[in-house]
Amino acid sequence: MLTLLFDGIAYGMLLFVLAVGLAVTLGLMNFINLAHGAFAMAGGYITVLAMNRLGVPFLVCLPLAFLGAALLGALLEPLLYRRMYARPHLDQVLFSIGLVFIAVTTVDYFVGSMQQNIQIPAWLQGRFDIAWVGIGKYRLFIIVVCAALTLALQWLLSRTRFGSQLRASVDDRRVAGGLGLNVNRIFLLTFAVGSGLAGLGGALGAEVLGLDPSFPLKFMIYFLIVCSVGGTTTITGPLLAALLLGIADVMGKYYAPKLGAFIVYTLMIVILLLRPQGLFVRSGGGK
């Protein structure tokens, strides 16, 4: 029971790191980016290929995955995404679905459609018991890394100059621009960091979630659930939503395998029916 809870937390933390970039694009730029999973997939594939073909150690791969995905994000943002911010949501949806299709088939073409396996280092394999609770080492590693990232992110957003500039740009883009902030540059950096986090999440999650070219489609709905249920105005909202989703999913799969993903979707619909803006909403704020 507690082991399941632990696994659920690890899964939830992973989902949070994967989805937080999406929460940022959604809340900040009001942009529905269905292609977010593509960045996660990019990170995952960078890790798999670097480890299996070049023999790069796992711990070096993680920052590589972050940088690779961030670079990709930084490249695509000014080229493509920036033109889409002011468009209607339908356009954004079509555009990002198109990106997903491109990403899926490109990976399929270059790497092949089979599931990729990742060899995590020996010191992260296996599990140990604390007070009769079985704890997977790799799961623990995920939790530690993700928790550190969350704290860093929270600090970045609430304590640094960049964080306050970002929050200012979100609250009112025009006024922030008028005050001399370079809003485009802030959005570019934020987008790159968000994509990078997704890439890192994809690298961490390759072993847990599985990695194949259909990854962005398979997990798209999970990311969106995290953002829509958690609300996009805070960091804690998506975090709690991700934990809830992770625990519900792991428990559901264990206790009622027949129902499958049924529980998660139903839960989401019920929550959205009761709280259309998400569970955790900061009142006020411009939009």
Partner 1 sequence: MTKVAHGLKHGAHWRWWEFALLAGLLLSWLLLPGHALLLNEIAILALFALSLDLILGYSGIVSLGHAAFFGFGSYAAALFAKLVMPDPWIGMLFAIALAALLGAVTSVLILRGTDLTRLMVTLGVASILYELANKLDWLTGGADGLQGVVMGPLLTPFGRFEFDIAGRTAYAYTLFVLIVCLFVGRRLVHSPFGYSLQALRDNRLRAGSIGLSVNARLVAIYTIAAAIAGAAGALLAQTSGFSSLDVFDFHRSAEVLLVLVIGGTGYLYGGIFGAIVFKLLHDLVSAWTPQYWNFWLGVFLVVLVLVGRDKLTRPWTWWKRS
Contact predicate 8/246, CB 8 Å: yes
DSSP the chain: -HHHHHHHHHHHHHHHHHHHHHHHHHHHH----TTHHHHHHHHHHHHHHHHHHH---HHHHHHHHHHHHHHHHHHHHHHTGGGGTTS-HHHHHHHHHHHHHHHHHHHHHHH-SSPBP----GGGSSEEEETTEEEEHHHHHHHHHHHHHHHHHHHHHHHSHHHHHHHHHHH-HHHHHHTT--HHHHHHHHHHHHHHHHHHHHHHHHHHH-B-TTHHHHHHHHHHHHHHHH-SS-SHHHHHHHHHHHHHHHHHHHH-TTTTTHHHHHHHHHHHHH-TT-SS--S----
Q: Binding of partner 1 at residue 261 (CB under 8 A)? A: yes
Q: Binding of partner 1 at residue 114 (CB under 8 A)? A: no
Q: Binding of partner 1 at residue 221 (CB under 8 A)? A: yes
Q: Binding of partner 1 at residue 259 (CB under 8 A)? A: yes
Answer for which of 158, 266, 282, 285 binds partner 1 (CB under 8 A) is: 266
Q: Binding of partner 1 at residue 95 (CB under 8 A)? A: yes
Q: Which is nearer to partner 1, 154 or 214 (CB)?
A: 214
Q: Which is nearer to partner 1, 83 or 127 (CB)?
A: 83
Longest dimension (CA), the chain: 59
- Identify the CA nearest to 76 among candidates 43, 36, 29: 36
Q: Binding of partner 1 at residue 76 (CB under 8 A)? A: no
Give residues 151-170 in contact with partner 1 (rule: CB under 8 A).
Answer: none
Q: Stretches 60-68, 127-135, 240-248, 271-279: which one binds partner 1 (CB under 8 A)? A: 271-279
Answer for which of 46, 99, 149, 203 binds partner 1 (CB under 8 A) is: 99
Closest separation in Å from C-beta 150 to partner 1:
23
Q: Binding of partner 1 at residue 111 (CB under 8 A)? A: no
Q: Stretches 148-156, 166-174, 192-200, 261-269: which one binds partner 1 (CB under 8 A)? A: 261-269
Q: Binding of partner 1 at residue 255 (CB under 8 A)? A: no
Q: Binding of partner 1 at residue 97 (CB under 8 A)? A: yes
- Contact pattern for partner 1 over residues 5 through 34, marking x by CB under 8 A: ---------------------x-----x--
Binding site for partner 1 (CB under 8 A): 26, 32, 80, 83-84, 87, 89-91, 93-95, 97-106, 108-109, 217, 220-221, 224-225, 227-228, 258-262, 265-266, 268-269, 272-273, 276-277
